[in-house]
Amino acid sequence: MDRTAPTATGELDVKPLDVAANRAARKYSLREQALRVLWSFGRWLIVLSPHPLHGWRRFVLRLFGAKVGRHARVHQAARLFMPWNVELGDWSAVGSEVFIYSLGKVRIGARATVSYRAHVCAGTHDFTDPTLPLLKPAVTIADDAWIGTEAFIGPGVTVGRGAIVAARAVVVKDVEPLTVVGGHPAHPIAPHPGIRRQRG
C-alpha cells in the first residue's frame, strides 16, 4: 500500500503510520523470543572469553544454533544478534565490534573476512506499507570475500566470491565476484588484484 499520493496541487499527501497495527504485528515467533532471552545471557560466554579461545566461542555459537565451520574465528567483541540465523564457513573470520544483525539468514563463506566494526544487516521494514512490517532478507558473503572496516552490507545483498568491499562502503546491491567496490553507495573502484596477477 502506497503511503503517498499526489494532491490536486501536486503536493504529496503522506498517510500517517498505523502505529497500533505495527505494534500489534508479530515480529518474532515465540521460539525466537525465548531464544533471544536465553541469548541475552549466553552471549556473555563469548564476551568474557579470552581472545585465544576461538574453539570455545565456536562451541557457544553452535550451542545457540549457529552453523560454524572448522577453524572459524569470531572475536569476543563481535555481536551476533541471533546466532541461530548465522552460518560461518571454514576458516572464516569475524572481527572486533562487527555487528551481524541476523534477523534473517546470514551466510559468511569459507575463508571470508568481515573486518572491524563492519555491519551486516539482514533486517529492514517495508516502507510502502503503513504498518511498516518487519522484513528479514538474507545476506550472503561468499567464499574468499573481504568486507572492509566499518562497511555496511544491506538486507538481501550477496557479495560474490572473492569480492572486496572497501572500508566504510555502503553496499545496497549485489557485488559481482572478483570485484572491488567502495563508496556510498558502493560501486566498482579498481580491478581485482587477483585478476591483475592472472593477466600479468
Q: How far apart are CA 132 and CA 101, in angstroms?
A: 18
The stretches of 43-150 forming alpha helices (DSSP H) are 44-47, 54-63
Considering the candidates 125, 184, 187, 192, report the single residue annotated as catalytic.
Answer: 125
Q: How far apart are CA 130 and CA 18, in angstroms?
A: 6
Number of DSSP helices (H) and strands (E) in the chain, helices first: 5, 21
Please tell me the number of Cα atoms within 13 Å of 125 on its side-chain side.
11
Q: Name the residue among 28, 46, 7 with its Cα closest to residue 85.
A: 28
Active site (annotated) includes residue 125: yes
Active site residue ranges: 125
